A and B are shown apart, each in its own frame.
Chain A
Amino acid sequence: MKRALVISGGGSKGAFAVGVLKQLFHIFPNLDFDIFVGSSAGSLVVSLAALNQMDTLSEIYSTISNDNLFIEGNIVDKLGDTSLFDVTPAWNLIQNKYPDQAYDQLQASGKKVFLTTVCLQTNELNVFTNDALSIKPGNYKVVQTLDANHYRRALLASCCEPVFMQPIQIARNVAGAAHPEYQYVDGGVLKYVGIEMAIDAGATEIFTILLSPDKSTLVKDQFTNLMSILGETVDILTSSVGKTDVAITDQYAAALKYIDDVKTKMKMAGIDENDIKNYFTLPTANIFQDKEPIKIFKIRPDDYLGGGPGGLTFDPSEMQGMMAKGITAFNQFAANLPSGDVTWV
């Protein structure tokens, strides 16, 4: 049985995920993950969580501010440039917090990390991983990271929200990497949360941390001008991308459970196990064949976390509050966890 940790995008709201993980490892010290999937801010969190560097994550998400991540400028001056912000400080931070030894440690651990990005040239979802052989990709491309620098560049690209942060040439100056000219941005553009990658990598128990609430926030004010209506419409469309990601994987997990329940019923009716297997084996490839039932645990905030548009406001005190909310959210999750679901104690 493989267990995965999947974290969505959300910029500064990644602090909530850090709070969840701190409490998760505190309450369940034996809980370990084989697979890590991150989109955007989730990529940074899973990269360090895979190395058990929770102290580093806590430090980052309780002290960092916008100035430590990007250089803002005059936006009129930036028209014609690749982005409104320059992410050089974020690149320096990643190089500092994820040195070559960290990548070596990851490779030695046998853990698999998947970072989602979108290639601007091909418009494809590209998933960079330290172990490309461990996944059977679906509707996306898997790219093997060749060294620590390649991994760090993929990590930075995964965090770079287009328009705000410049696209990253992940293969630039990486020996042996194809298409050094290709530019990559935040995988959250196409994939809010990479549960699909965890399933494709063989995970059957998936812990998913989502950085936005399930319910829509009730807006009591009337929308009386074009901009407020347009802004709300963009919010609705954007959140629907995330809801669709989650809904599709929920349906897939439900379908696998249904198939498993039917198989169990057939077995109880006295049908031979080999015959059952034959009934469910079709000559054409399908996404359910030979798949085990999947358990997906979801942990998410009850309400909007803040952090500004796209989570681009990194305010240490606000992020500390988000971390506290993550701890509370995990406590609630653990309290409501059916004992039969706990396989790791």
Chain B
Amino acid sequence: MQIRINLFKKMIWIFLFCNLTSITHAQTDTEFPKGFIMYGKLHSGLVTNFSSPDLFIGGIQLAPQYTVVPHLLRIGAIAGGFYSSKKIQGEFGPSVSLKLKTFNAKLEGATVGSIANINLLIDHLWGTNKQRQIGAGIILDTGNIITIGITTHRDYNLNTWLFQSEIGIRLTKKHKNPVI
């Protein structure tokens, strides 16, 4: 009997977790919840003007944001440092994230929350070496914990383009269920 119960328990857990990770299109949106969130990001890529040799760029950013339209829009800021042209430089500016798609988790056809989202990131950055960059990127946010994305920026002051990839991790504390 005990063996049967243990087998039953294991089967339930496997069943739940395998099913919960099946990704389907959103019905009830749970991404971009109300509140504050901050990611730490690493980014790297190249700077080019399509004529002279491309330059490496890599850096670290802090990206705090606040949800102003739940399940749709966050606004915030970016501040960071980066290495390029054999120099360490700084950057900062505003950012906006627009949620494009939510991936829901389903159990036997019923939505039981979400698992990830894809959002459009738009920002404008001022650099410490006369950079003026406006750009956008597509970001995949998994579990509101890890983000990966690709971004493109146009430096309209230095007449260059920046093509980068980024990976981020959430730094703010998770919202836990209240104890009732």
Majority secondary structure, A binding face: mixed
Tell me which residues across on chain A come within 8 A of B14, comparing CB atoms. Answer: 230
Bound Cα distance from A46 to B157, whole angstroms: 71
Contact B180–A169 (Cβ < 8 Å): yes
* Binary CB contact string for chain A from 58 to 89 against chain B (1 if under 8 A, 0 otherwise): 00000000110000111111111111111110
How many whole Å from A128's CB to the nearest CB in chain B?
15
What residue of chain B has the Cβ atom nearest to residue A91's Cβ? B180
A82 / chain B contacts, CB cutoff of 8 Å: 176-177
Are A75 and B178 in contact, with the CB atoms below 8 A? no
Given contacts A77-B145, A81-B176, A233-B11, contact A72 B111 (CB under 8 A): yes
Interface status of A164 (Cβ within 8 A of chain B): yes
Chain A contact residue count (CB 8 A cutoff): 38
Which residues of A have CB within 8 Å of B111? 72
Please tell me if A106 contacts chain B, counting CB pairs below 8 Å: no
B114 touches A73 (CB 8 A): yes
Q: B180, A72: Cβ atoms under 8 Å?
A: no
Q: Do B110 and A88 have beta carbons less than 8 Å apart?
A: no
Report the stretch among B15-23, B53-61, B123-131 that lies at the interface.
B15-23
Map CB proximity to A onto B143-180 as digits: 1 under 8 Å, 0 otherwise.
11100000000000000000000000000001111111
What is the distance, in angstroms, from B102's C-beta to the closest C-beta of chain A? Answer: 9
Tell me, in angstroms, the Cα distance from A76 to B116 when the chains sit together.
8
Take A73-B33, A75-B114 as given contacts and tell me if A86 and B177 are in contact as well, using a CB distance cutoff of 8 Å.
yes
A227 interface residue per 8 A CB criterion = yes
Interface residues as binary, A151-169 with B (CB distance below 8 Å gives 1, 0 otherwise): 0010010000001101011
In the complex, residue of chain B having the shortest beta-carbon distance to the beta carbon of A87: B180
Q: State whether the Cβ of B30 lies closer than 8 Å to any Cβ in chain A.
A: yes
CB distance from A298 to the nearest CB of B (A): 26
Cα–Cα distance between A91 and B145 once the two chains are bound (Å): 28
Tell whether, in the assembled complex, residue A74 and residue B177 are in contact, meaning their CB atoms are under 8 Å apart.
no
User: When chains A and B are docked, how far (Å) is the Cα of A233 from the Cα of B110?
Assistant: 19
Count of chain A to chain B residue pairs whose CB atoms are closer than 8 Å in the complex = 100
Q: How far is the CB of A134 from chain B (nearest CB, A)?
A: 28
Q: How far is the CA of A231 from the CA of B112 in the complex (A)?
A: 16
**Contact between A75 and B115, CB atoms less than 8 A apart:** yes
Task: Flag if A66 contacts B180 (CB, 8 Å).
Answer: no
Q: Tell me the minimal C-beta distance from B16 to chain A in angstroms.
A: 7
Given A66-B28, A74-B144, A75-B20; A309-B107 close (CB under 8 Å): yes
B91 within 8 A of A: no
A148 to chain B, nearest CB (A): 16
Contact residue among B114, B144, B145, B174 (Cβ-Cβ distance under 8 Å from A81): B174
Contacts of B93 in A (CB 8 A): none
- Measured between beta carbons, the chain A residues less than 8 angstroms from B31 are 74
For residue A320, which residues in chain B have a CB less than 8 angstroms away from its CB? none
In-complex Cβ contact of A231 among B15, B177, B179 (8 A): B15
Does A172 touch B at the CB level, under 8 Å?
Answer: yes
- Known contacts A73-B33, A231-B19, A84 near B178 by CB under 8 Å: no
CA of A83 to CA of B180, assembled, Å: 12
The one of A77, A163, A230, A309 in contact with B110, judged by C-beta atoms closer than 8 angstroms, is A309
A249 within 8 Å of B by Cβ? no
Contact with B along A298-340 (1 / 0, CB 8 A): 0000000000110011000000000000000000000000000
Contacts of A233 in B (CB 8 A): 11
Write 28 A-B pairs (CB below 8 A) sorted by A numbering.
A72-B28, A72-B112, A72-B114, A73-B33, A73-B113, A73-B114, A74-B115, A74-B116, A75-B113, A75-B114, A76-B143, A76-B144, A77-B143, A79-B143, A81-B177, A86-B177, A87-B180, A88-B180, A166-B180, A168-B180, A169-B180, A227-B19, A230-B14, A234-B11, A234-B12, A237-B11, A309-B108, A312-B112
Beyond A77-B144, A230-B15: 5 further Cβ-contacts under 8 Å? A73-B33, A75-B143, A84-B20, A86-B178, A231-B108
Interface residues of B (CB under 8 A from A): 8, 11-12, 14-16, 18-20, 28, 30-31, 33, 105, 107-116, 142-145, 174-180
Show the binding face of A for B, using Cβ within 8 Å: 66-67, 72-88, 91, 153, 156, 163-164, 166, 168-169, 172, 227, 230-231, 233-234, 237, 308-309, 312-313
